[in-house]
Amino acid sequence: MALDEALGQLRALIEPGRAEQMAAYHKQNREVLGIPNPALNELTKGWRQSLTVEERVALADALWNTDIFEARLAAAKLLTQARIKGDDAAWALICSWVPQFDSWAIADHACMAAQKRLVADPARLDDVETWTQSEHMWTRRAALVATLPWAKMNNLKPADQARRARIITWAAGYVPDRDWFIQKAIAWWLRDLSKHDAEATRIFLATHGDAMKPFARKEAGKYLRNEAPKAG
């Protein structure tokens, strides 16, 4: 599919008056078309079903490079699928996007695509670990958002237990970072973890909770039956 054709299909979904509201909500300076997410989901679902993997990667790359808000969301949705045969190019493209993240909606959509590729090949966590050392806040944040599947797993095999523990150490390393989005990402990861491993969440909060921002500590323990003990 040519980029012009894809953009034409996107523009056909514009709801008049919606763009201004979305641009304000998402704090966007780039072009925002004003397309509801359900319509975007339906369109990209059709693209995934009709295009080959190679065509999807090429279109995702082209859409991303337009720097249009919904085009970047659509690019991520094109690659959000559990099973993609021969997904190395898809993973490489997602990784190339990470340093360009500058807003939570685009970052979260791309991270959902990354989650699928990481579960498909957990060895890629080695790539993600390098993100934790980036000076770019959104890249550091992506390391936790992209690895959320390991917070949600039940009955982990030893390999996934080790991966979960590895990611928890990344979160612990982030605690001194006072950026709101980083603190929110720590809380998000722990909140999801608490539904599947409450004890690990309590241990983290007992060790690091006092150093977290209060809102993050509260959110992390939201689903715990009892308030996590304080450090010391």
118, pLDDT greater than 80: yes
Mean pLDDT of 203-230: 87
Taking a C-beta distance cutoff of 8 angstroms, is the pair 177, 149 a contact?
Answer: no
**Distance (Å, whole) CA 212 – CA 221:** 12
For residue 206, the domain's CATH number is 1.25.40
Between residues 226 and 172, which one has the greater pLDDT?
Answer: 172
Its pTM stands at 0.93
Q: What range does the domain containing 208 cover? A: 148-232
Residue 52 has φ and ψ, to the nearest 5°, of -70, 165
pLDDT per position as a tens digit, 150-208? 999 999 999 999 999 999 999 999 999 999 999 999 999 999 999 999 999 999 999 99
Mean pLDDT of 33-48: 97
Q: What total number of domains does the chain contain?
A: 2
Q: Last residue of a domain, which of 96, 117, 142?
A: 142
Q: Are residues 210 and 95 in the same domain?
A: no
Q: Are residues 78 and 131 in the same domain?
A: yes
Q: Are residues 17 and 125 in the same domain?
A: yes
- Identify the pLDDT of residue 82: 87
Task: Report the mean per-residue pLDDT for the chain.
Answer: 95
Mean pLDDT of 55-78: 98
Q: Last residue of a domain, which of 97, 122, 142?
A: 142
Q: Are residues 100 and 136 in the same domain?
A: yes
Q: Are residues 16 and 60 in the same domain?
A: yes
Q: Are residues 86 and 3 in the same domain?
A: yes
pLDDT per position as a tens digit, 6-18? 999 999 999 999 9
Between residues 85 and 220, which one has the greater pLDDT?
Answer: 220
Model confidence band, residue 230 (pLDDT cutoffs 50, 70, 90): very low
| Unique residue bearing structure tokens 């190395």 | 88
227, pLDDT greater than 50: no
Taking a C-beta distance cutoff of 8 angstroms, is the pair 190, 217 a contact?
Answer: no
Cα 32 to Cα 11, 15, 108, 210: the distances in Å are: 10, 11, 17, 40
Model confidence band, residue 225 (pLDDT cutoffs 50, 70, 90): low
**Tokens at residue 172, please?**
């612990």
| Single-letter code of the amino acid located at 86 | G
Taking a C-beta distance cutoff of 8 angstroms, is the pair 113, 94 a contact?
Answer: yes
Helices (H) then strands (E): counts for the chain: 14, 0
| Unique residue bearing structure tokens 């936790």 | 144
Q: Are residues 55 and 168 in the same domain?
A: no
226, pLDDT greater than 80: no
